[in-house]
Amino acid sequence: MKKKPFILITNDDGIYASGLKHLWTTLVDYADLAIIAPEIEQSGMGLAITLRQPLLSEPVVWEKKTPAWKVNGTPADCVRLGLSVLLKDKPDLIVSGINRGSNPGRNILYSGTVGGVIEGALRNVPGIAFSCADFQSPNYQAVEHFIVPMIEHLFEHPLPNGTFLNVNFPEVVPARGIKLARQGMGYWIESTQERKHPEGHSYYWLGGKWLHHQEHEESDVYLLQQGYAAVVPIHVSDWTDLHFLNHHKERFDRHFSEKT
């Protein structure tokens, strides 16, 4: 009998979020699962980790005896605790989501959904982050049938170390199809509102609005607008700007050697 893969599930919407339950339902017969997720929503936390308070993990009773824990921290905290303490075996894959709201373009820098799989990718554990563009009424059930085939394809064609997949489903599902894409340029910027506290001082809500760019036709942002699901391979092992390094290193080093 073929051994089932071992998959760790996390998210940033919290362990009781509907998207995580749909992800578990989709994968429970396909793989051996464990769940480690924040006890409350951690959207926008990116790759943040908890340093100034103790982390607590509490077992959660889950269906079909799936081992599950809730953590009073971020998605990255959950993965760190899982890989270093809670799990006896290293997972074959980390899957995050299904997020309520999209994470295309440069939003990945802020996304807790993506942060969880980045933490795994930095430790050479491959991962996939799943998000639905419809924030108000995401149709998780309509995207479930895409998930196992995508994971099967990943196992058949393994990712390089340090690479993960960022998957976004469009607002209208079923999608027109699935496209391997490049990362778009757009992202949410602040739309700051200043308000007055009863004591007289100002306070602020950063809010958000979409910052549009001229998007490449193969970008995830563009493809989502056309009704496709977009899958972007993101590499995090080496973020060095090699063009700058190669063209400026000699001059830079010479300049500062003369100063010292």
pLDDT attached to residue 201? 80
- Decide if 195 is inside a domain: no
Whether 203 maps to a domain, the answer reads no
Residue 208 — very low, low, confident or very high, per pLDDT cuts 50/70/90? low
Q: Which two tokens stand for residue 61?
A: 């009773």
d(CA 209, CA 207): 7
Both tokens of 214, joined, read: 């001229």
Phi and psi dihedrals of 259, rounded to 5? Answer: -80, -25
The residue range of the domain holding 136 is 6-187+214-259
Kindly tell me the sign of the dihedral angle through the C-alpha atoms of 81, 82, 88, 89. negative
101-118 pLDDT tens trace? 989 988 889 899 999 999
Q: Please name the helix (run of DSSP H) or strand (run of DSSP E) that holds residue 157, with its range, or none.
A: none
Looking at residue 120, its pLDDT comes to 96
At 160, the amino acid letter reads P
- Measured between alpha carbons, how far is 28 from 242 in angstroms, rounded to an integer? 42
Q: Are 33 and 62 in contact (CB under 8 A)?
A: no
Binning pLDDT at 50, 70 and 90, where does residue 20 land? very high
Q: Does residue 209 fall inside a structural domain?
A: no
> Of 172 and 40, which is predicted with more confidence?
40
Residue-averaged pLDDT of the chain: 90
| Statement: residue 257 has pLDDT above 80 | yes
Pairwise CA distance, residues 132 & 154, whole Å: 20
For strands 229-235 and 163-169, give the pairing: antiparallel
Characterize 123-136 residue by residue with b for buried, 16 or more Cβ atoms within 10 angstroms of its Cβ, and e for exposed.
Answer: eebbbbbbbbbbee
For 179-183, 212-216, 232-236, which range has the lowest pLDDT when averaged over its residues? 212-216
Task: Give the chain's radius of gyration (CA, Å).
Answer: 20
How many CB atoms within 10 Å of residue 16? 13
Q: What is the CATH classification number for the domain harbouring 112?
A: 3.40.1210.10
238: which residues sit within 8 A by CB, 6+ positions away? 162
Is the residue at 201 inside a domain? no
**54-63 tens-digit pLDDT:** 999 999 999 9
Least confident interval from 2-11, 36-45, 136-145, 250-259: 250-259
Using the structure block, give the residue that is written with the tokens 């075996």: 89
The terminus-to-terminus CA distance of the chain in angstroms comes to: 66
- pLDDT interval class at 190 (50, 70, 90): low
Residue-level pLDDT at 238: 87
pTM: 0.90
Q: Is the pLDDT assigned to residue 204 strictly greater than 60?
A: yes
Rounded Cα distance, 87 and 79, in Å: 10
**Per-residue CA distances from 156 to 23, 101, 149, 208, 233 (Å):** 21, 29, 10, 39, 16
State the pLDDT at residue 36: 98
Question: Which of the pair, 142 or 186, is modelled with greater confidence?
Answer: 142
| Cis amide leading into 59 (omega within 30) | no
Domain count, the chain: 1
CA–CA separation, 149 and 107 (whole Å) = 25
